[in-house]
Amino acid sequence: MTLPLTLTENWQSFNDKVIPANASDVQRTETRRAFHAGFIRCFELLTDHCASLDADDAFIFMDKLNIEVMTYLGDMTSEAGIDSSQLNIFTADEGKPQ
């Protein structure tokens, strides 16, 4: 399976998999804005903050973010009744696609 490489491709994949086909234009627009805003903030955290850290501290920072994101994803998929092991994601423990 080839993973989407661009932000636009990732948005389209998210849109196709998550947003209901009958979603309103407002819901789709607001979700797209939130998707991109989340990416922008994450990109700022990774580029600006990590640039000010030495390599070891940057790794620790990124690992903490990864654990936080994977915990959220696990909680979200559990609430939705989705088996997260079936998702094509990186895990906090393994750091590689499942």
Tell me how far CA of residue 62 lies from CA of 21, 30, 52, 89, in angstroms: 35, 28, 13, 16
pLDDT tens-digit series, residues 67-83:
998 888 888 888 878 77
* Stretch 37-55: mean pLDDT: 90
Q: CA torsion 67→40→78→13, rounded to 10°?
A: -130
Average pLDDT over the chain, rounded to whole?
83
The pTM assigned to this predicted structure is: 0.66
